[in-house]
Amino acid sequence: MTWSFETDPAFQAELDWIEQFIEEKVAPLDFLLVNPYDVKNPDNRRLVRPLQDEVRQRGLWACHLGPELGGLGYGQVKLALMNELIGAAKFGPIVFGNQAPDSGNAEILARFGTAEQKARFLQPLLDGEIVSCFSMTEPQGGADPLLIDTTAVRDGDEWVINGEKWFSTNASTADFFIVMAKSEFDAKPHESISTLIIPAGTPGLEVVRDIGYGNAHPTHAYVRYTDVRVPLDHMLGSPGQGFVVAQTRLGGGRIHHAMRTIAKARKALDYMKRRAVSRTTKGSLLSQKQLVQEKIAQSWVQLEQFRLLVLQTAWKIDKFGDYHKVRKDIAAVKFTMPQVMHDIASRALHLHGSLGLSTEMPFAQWVIESYYLALADGPTEVHEITVARELLKGIEPDPTPFPDYHLPRRAEAARQLYAADLAEQGA
């Protein structure tokens, strides 16, 4: 049996290049540009495109995609090791061609799209020429997709879509929307929703307003669909297959969020350590205060535990090739992620005092983002329930009030097992 946590030297060289590239060339974009998804902005084109070309030349563009789609088909473990570096910069994902929600939308287009849909929507998305929007959540339904009220009614050779969506990411910059709507009104709830492609600019599609959180640029939109008409061939998959389509993207999206979160949590810990050895109060450095040492130690352990959980989950996805078989692990990653980010960012904020609370440091925004992570792709409570249910599957109830792990029963079983030896010793 072999067991190793070492990275292949050739791939480690790629990781070393990514880390340096992010730090020296990509991270500065966070202070010069506003929105990574505003790909048609002249300033974005001028500064981002050359970096994307460097990534392509290095052979690291859109590595989550298979070779048939222009990627390297990297497994989730390699993606985890990459994303925990790429996530250190706001423009990191767009520079490497693996930004959400486009990465998930590309996955479902690749799997469910027709040849015409792939040519019109998927290819320019893969080339980084456009961005997309996934429009599912609704104001009245929140995280419960069974409460979707948006409808898609067939009228001749068109679908007519009506409804409102909430927190539709990148709606203002997207070239097309992937929308979940109820189309099968007599079907079972999980077979009633369909997924449709709506090109930006289609009459009746209105971005009411963009919403942000904290000091982040607002990129999540309130969208209204009023008698929006698209051809019948703009459906992804079959009518009523919307939940199947959505699950194709959500499993990967959740763990990729976690991979990138490691980068921010690691930065928060690094900044905390630097503050501790630089700041003096009450006659000694912060690093010499036991309560500060406790915060640093707890943060490191939390981060290492979470990183190992993410990597093990990524390994299981590679091993089984089926998100559903790793459902429990992905759910565990999802509900652990916001707590880790919140705790480490909060400790870093506190150790930096009023400076840490201000907008001149990233910590307050990271704390707010931890709450976003706790809500995006389903609230933490939903995923905790998933983990518990998966763990309880197949567990048989004990027939008596005293189970076989009851200590008197175990003692009696031990005496019976060694009765002969004990009797011989007594003789």
Please report, for the domain that includes residue 227, its CATH number: 2.40.110.10
Residues 381 and 265 reside in one and the same domain: yes
Residue 187 three-state SS? coil
Contacts of 138 (CB under 8 A, 6+ apart): 147, 148, 149, 150, 163, 164, 165, 166
Residues 44 and 78 in one domain: yes
Beta-bridge partners for 27? none
Residue 339 sits in a domain whose CATH number is 1.20.140.10
For residue 109, being part of any structural domain is answered with: no
Above 60 in pLDDT, residue 367?
A: yes
- What's the pLDDT at 216? 86
Least confident of 45-59, 60-74, 316-330, 401-415: 60-74
Under 8 Å between Cβ of 161 and 198 = yes
The pTM for the full model equals 0.91
Give me the number of domains the chain comprises. Answer: 4
Q: In the structure, what pLDDT confidence band is assigned to residue 427 with cuts at 50, 70 and 90?
A: low
What pLDDT does residue 143 have?
73
**Are 343 and 422 in the same domain?**
no
Per-residue pLDDT band for 142 (boundaries 50, 70, 90) equals: confident
Residue 251: what pLDDT? 61
Same domain, 266 and 364: yes
Q: Which range has the worst mean pLDDT, 35-39, 143-147, 183-187, 258-262?
A: 143-147
Q: Cα-flanking dihedrals φ and ψ of residue 132, to 5°?
A: -130, 175
Is the same domain home to 75 and 210? no
Percent residues over pLDDT 70 in the chain: 98
- Residue after which a domain boundary falls, among 216, 236, 256: 236
* Confidence band of 424 (pLDDT split at 50, 70, 90): confident
- Nearest Cα neighbor of 202 from 181, 237, 231, 222 is 231
Structure confidence at residue 323 (pLDDT): 84
Residue 396: pLDDT over 60: yes
Q: What is the mean pLDDT of residues 320-331?
A: 90
pLDDT at 250 exceeding the cut of 70: no
The reply to whether 76 and 212 lie within a common domain is no
Q: How do residues 280-319 score in pLDDT, each as one tens digit?
A: 999 999 999 999 999 999 999 999 999 999 999 999 999 9
Residue 75, pLDDT score = 87
Q: Which three-class secondary structure state does DSSP give residue 109?
A: helix
Express the helix, strand and coil content of the chain in percent, nearest 5 each: 55, 15, 30
| Domain end among 99, 122, 157 | 99
How open is the CA angle 67-69-71, to the nearest 5 degrees? 50
Residue 108 lies in a domain: no
- Range of the structural domain that residue 274 is part of: 244-392
Q: Vertex 190, ends 187 and 194: CA angle to 5°?
A: 80
pLDDT higher than 80, residue 2: no
Residues 209 and 339 in one domain: no
* Average of per-residue pLDDT values in the chain: 93
DSSP letters of 237-295?
SSTT-HHHHHHHHHHHHHHHHHHHHHHHHHHHHHHHHHHHTT-EETTEEGGGSHHHHHH
Does residue 232 fall inside a structural domain?
yes
Report yes or no on 214 lying in a domain. yes
More confident site: 90 or 141: 90
Q: Both tokens of residue 407?
A: 């200590």
pLDDT at 173 over 90: yes
Please indicate, yes or no, if residue 165 is contained in any of the structural domains.
yes
| pLDDT 10s digits, 65-123 | 777 776 778 889 999 999 999 999 999 999 999 898 898 898 889 889 999 999 999 99
What residues are paired with 138 via a beta bridge?
Answer: 142
SS3 55: helix
Q: Is 24 helix (H, G, I), strand (E, B) or coil?
A: helix
Contacts of 378 (CB under 8 A, 6+ apart): 143, 250, 334
3 occurs within a structural domain: no
Largest Cα–Cα distance in the chain? 97
- My answer on whether 154 and 291 are in the same domain is no
Residues 253 and 336 in one domain: yes
Residue 365 buriedness (CB in 10 A; 0-12 / 13-18 / 19+): middle
CA dihedral (97, 98, 100, 106) positive or negative: positive
Packed helices 242-276 and 102-112: angle between N→C axes, nearest 10 degrees: 150
Per cent of the chain over pLDDT 90 is: 81
* 106 within domain boundaries: no
pLDDT of the residue at 426: 67
User: Residue 289's pLDDT is what?
Assistant: 97
Examine the domain organization and report whether 56 and 147 are in the same domain.
no
- Do 370 and 275 lie in one domain? The reply is yes
Question: pLDDT by residue (tens digit) across 261-284?
Answer: 999 999 999 999 999 999 999 999
Q: What mean pLDDT do residues 397-419 have?
A: 94
Which of 202, 218, 236 terminates a domain? The answer is: 236
On whether residue 125 sits in a domain, the answer given is: no
Nearest alpha carbon to residue 82 among 98, 106, 71, 104: 98
Asked whether residue 363 falls in the same domain as residue 403, the answer is no
For tokens 């976003």, name the residue. 372
